[in-house]
């Protein structure tokens, strides 16, 4: 586009800006405005999350057992490290350190791939256990921790005495029953008993999990897959953008006066990290 570049000695200065600072400032305001739209974009998902969690805390507590805290935590670490390298890359660009820039951008991209790889493992494990979003949801044995994964993550809904009377209880009582059982469990655990050796761990099809809770478990996974999925799409977009900038960095496009794209992409990347910082405790760390 012939009219895009009007300043001979500065190949990346667009004709309608007066100088490189003018261009940088405009781009910076633009990317912040874009991040605002991203925040509002995610807000819908957070709103759905807040509503369903506030209205059905027991569903979230139970369903969250299916998520693998360890994997989530590793992914958090990966993303935070990539945030560091992204911020470092900006510093490299500002100081004109070409090699450092290339190295840091590459590490950031590798981390992004690592994140997606772990996500892939997590997702396929979920699908394997029948934990699909929506209509295909059909939890199989082991879906909520149960035997397969040890029991640190499982929740007992009932004590044996209650189990016997469960059939006669009215469904309406189920809610409160679940709650007291949970409190009991908390008590047991507080006494140093982490659940080992208990027989009444809630299995994937425990008849004593209140029917109302069971019916809503799939909503949790709807929300879980939408939130992490949309986040994952953002990671993929980040990979594309950072990859493109990596090629430009190799070609030596960036200088201490022209490094806007690196800065803006890093800002985007930090936002992706920021969203994950909330997603992780909201989805994985529910007790």
Partner 1 sequence: MTQVDIPVESPVRPVQHLDKNFINHSKGFLSWALTLDHKRIGLMYLVGISLSFFLGGLFALAIRLELFSPGMQFMDAATYNQVFTLHGAVMVFLFIIPGIPAALGNVVLPLMLGAKDVAFPRLNLCSYYLWLSGAAFFIWTLFSNGLDTGWTFYTPYSTSYTDTSVIQATAGVFMLGFSSIFTGLNFLVTIHKMRPPGMTWHKLPLFLWGMYGTAIMQLLATPVLGITLLLLIMETTLGIGIFDPQKGGDPVLYQHFFWFYSHPAVYIMILPAMAVVSEIIAAFSRKHIFGYRMIAYSSVSIALLSFLVWGHHMFVSSESTLATLIFSAITFTIAIPSAIKVFNWLATLYKGSVQLDTPMLYALGFMWLFTIGGLTGLFLAVLSTDVVLHDTYFVVAHFHYVMVGGTLFAFLGGLHYWWPKMTGKMYSETSGRIAAVTAFIGFNLAFFPQFIMGSRGMPRRYADYTADFELYHRLSTTGTLILGVGLALLAYTLLRSLFGGKKAPANPWGSATIEWECPSPPPHHNFDHPPLATDPYDMERVEWDEEVQGYVPAVGHRPTAH
Partner 2 sequence: MTAAASTEHDHAEGHDHGDHHVLPLWLLIGTWLALMGLTIFTVTASTFHLGAFDLPVAMGIATIKATLVMLIFMHLGFDKSFHSLLIYGSFLFVFLFISFVWIDRGQYQVDINEKEQQEIAIDLGQ
The footprint of partner 2 (CB under 8 A) covers 18-19, 21-22, 24-25, 28-29, 32-33, 35-36, 39-40, 43, 46-47, 50-51, 54-55, 69, 73, 76-77, 80-81, 83-84, 86-88, 90-91, 94-95, 152, 170-172, 186, 189-190, 211-212, 215, 256, 266-267, 270-271, 273-274, 277-278, 280-282, 285-287
Minimum CB separation from partner 2 for residue 256, in Å? 8
Residues 272 and 60: beta-carbon distance below 8 Å: no
Between residues 36 and 183, which has the closer beta carbon with respect to partner 1? 36
Cα(261)–Cα(266) distance, integer angstroms? 8
CB of 2 to partner 2, least distance (A): 25
Cβ atoms of 19 and 258 within 8 Å: the answer is: no
Which of 20, 38, 163, 184 is the binder for partner 1 (CB under 8 A)?
Answer: 38
Residue closer to partner 1 by CB (options 157, 224) is 224
Judged by beta carbon, residue 41 or residue 244, the one nearer partner 1 is 41
| Of the residues 26, 94, 97, 106, which one makes contact with partner 1 according to CB under 8 A | 26
Residue 202 to residue 200: CA distance in whole angstroms: 6
Interface with partner 1 in residues 216-275 (CB under 8 A): 216, 218-219, 222-223, 225-226, 230
Round to whole Å and give the CA distance between 115 and 76: 9
Work out what residue 280 binds among partner 2, partner 1, none; the CB cut-off runs from 5 to 8 Å by kind. Answer: partner 2
Q: What is the DSSP letter of 148?
A: B
User: Is 49 exposed, middle or buried, given 0-12, 13-18 or 19+ CB atoms closer than 10 A?
Assistant: buried
Instruction: Give me the least distance between CB of 30 and partner 2, in Å please.
Output: 11
Taking CB under 8 A as the rule, does residue 33 contact partner 1?
Answer: yes
Confirm or reject binding of residue 118 to partner 1 (CB under 8 A). no
**Minimum distance from CB of 90 to partner 1 (Å)?**
21
Query: Least Å distance between CB 82 and partner 2?
Result: 10
Tokens of 281: 């405790």
Q: 14 by DSSP, 3-state: which?
A: strand
226 binds, options partner 1, partner 2, none, Cβ within 5 to 8 A by partner type: partner 1
Report which of 120, 251, 121, 141 is spatially closest to residue 203, judged by C-alpha positions.
141
Contact of 262 with 21, CB cutoff 8 Å: no
Helices (H) and strands (E) in the chain, counts: 8, 0
- Decide: helix, strand or coil at residue 81: helix
- For residues 257, 262, 268, 271, the Cα torsion angle rounded to the nearest 10 degrees is -90
Q: How far, in Å, CA of 230 to CA of 17, rounded?
A: 35
Binding to partner 1 by residue 112, rule CB under 8 A?
A: no
- What is d(CA 178, CA 59) in angstroms, rounded to the nearest whole number? 10
Task: Give the binding-site size for partner 1 (rule: CB under 8 A).
Answer: 40
Q: Which pair of tokens denotes residue 278? A: 């909330």
Q: Quick one: what does residue 230 bind among partner 2, partner 1, none, with the CB cut-off 5 to 8 Å set by partner type?
A: partner 1
Residues interacting with partner 1, by CB under 8 A?
1, 3-4, 14-16, 22, 25-26, 29-30, 33-34, 36-38, 40-45, 47-48, 51-52, 132-136, 215-216, 218-219, 222-223, 225-226, 230
């Amino acid at each position: 586009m012939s009219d895009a570049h009007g300043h001979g000695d500065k190949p990346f200065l667009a004709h309608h800006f007066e100088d490189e600072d003018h261009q940088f400032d405009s781009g910076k305001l633009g990317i912040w405005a874009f991040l605002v739209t991203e925040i509002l974009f995610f807000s819908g998902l957070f709103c759905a999350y807040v509503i369903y969690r506030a209205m059905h805390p027991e569903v979230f507590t139970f369903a969250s057992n299916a998520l693998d805290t360890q994997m989530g935590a590793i992914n958090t670490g990966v993303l935070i490290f990539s945030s560091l390298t992204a911020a470092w890359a900006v510093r490299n660009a500002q100081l004109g350190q070409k090699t450092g820039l290339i190295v840091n951008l590459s590490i950031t991209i590798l981390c992004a791939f690592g994140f997606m790889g772990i996500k892939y493992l997590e997702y396929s494990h979920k699908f394997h256990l029948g934990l699909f979003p929506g209509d295909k949801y059909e939890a199989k044995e082991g879906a909520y921790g149960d035997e397969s994964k040890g029991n640190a993550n499982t929740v007992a809904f009932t004590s044996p005495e209650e189990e016997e009377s469960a059939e006669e209880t009215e469904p309406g009582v189920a809610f409160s029953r679940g709650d007291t059982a949970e409190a009991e469990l908390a008590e047991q655990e507080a006494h140093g008993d982490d659940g080992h050796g208990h027989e009444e761990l809630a299995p994937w099809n425990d008849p004593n999990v209140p029917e109302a809770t069971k019916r809503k478990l799939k909503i949790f996974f709807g929300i879980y897959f939408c939130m992490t999925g949309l986040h994952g799409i953002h990671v993929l977009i980040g990979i594309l953008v950072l990859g493109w900038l990596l090629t430009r960095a190799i070609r030596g496009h960036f200088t201490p006066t022209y490094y806007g794209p690196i800065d803006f992409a890093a800002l985007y990347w930090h936002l992706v990290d920021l969203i994950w910082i909330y997603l992780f405790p909201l989805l994985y760390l529910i007790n």
